[in-house]
């Protein structure tokens, strides 16, 4: 008896679901909108693209690894030397246990990094490597380069 009752309740609930689905399939929604809404959406997308492009501060690029040592003082001495000789060049000290690494520059291409590596080689005769890294870029620099291309 309970078995027959449970089968009957399952069949009735399935019938109700099928009936509800067929009713919603035939009903439709008609949306009327002003054509200017599409223009506003396009304009907002352009604004969003412009503002996010300006806020991007990093991108793939290259740096020159000047020093790598377990002695922190050697790496910071090299950093001081970089500051003295090239004040515009930004140095980055990275600690990857047990080594301290000094990387300099924010170069967009490998050719730029290799060109600058030639200027650094008299100061650091051994151990200069061009490394692929995430570099910092100012929005002004991106705009200038975008206008030149």
User: Could you state, in order of their start, the residue ranges of all structural domains in the chain?
Assistant: 58-148
Residue 113 sits at φ, ψ, to 5 deg, of: -65, -45
User: What is the C-alpha separation between 81 and 125, in angstroms, rounded?
Assistant: 13
Q: The pTM is what?
A: 0.58
User: What is the C-alpha separation between 124 and 91, in angstroms, rounded?
Assistant: 14
- Measured from the Cβ of residue 70, the count of other Cβ atoms closer than 10 Å reads 10
Give the model's pLDDT for residue 48. 83
User: What is the C-alpha separation between 65 and 92, in angstroms, rounded?
Assistant: 9
In this structure, CATH architecture of domain 58-148: 2-Layer Sandwich (3.30)
Give the model's pLDDT for residue 33. 83
Residues of the chain with pLDDT under 50: 18, 20-23, 147-149
Cis geometry, peptide bond prior to residue 98 (ω within 30 degrees of 0): yes
């Amino acid at each position: 008896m309970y078995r027959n009752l449970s089968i009957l309740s399952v069949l009735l609930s399935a019938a109700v679901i099928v009936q509800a689905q067929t009713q919603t399939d035939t009903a439709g929604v008609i949306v009327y909108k002003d054509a200017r809404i599409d223009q506003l959406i396009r304009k907002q997308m352009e604004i969003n693209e412009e503002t996010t492009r300006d806020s991007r501060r990093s991108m793939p690029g290259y740096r020159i690894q000047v020093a790598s040592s377990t002695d922190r003082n050697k790496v910071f001495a090299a950093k001081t030397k970089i500051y003295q000789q090239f004040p515009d060049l930004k140095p980055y000290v990275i600690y990857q246990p047990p080594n301290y690494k000094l990387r300099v520059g924010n170069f967009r291409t490998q050719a730029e990094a290799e060109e600058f590596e030639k200027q650094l080689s008299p100061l650091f005769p051994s151990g200069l490597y061009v490394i692929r890294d995430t570099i910092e870029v100012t929005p002004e620099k991106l705009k200038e380069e975008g206008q030149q291309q």
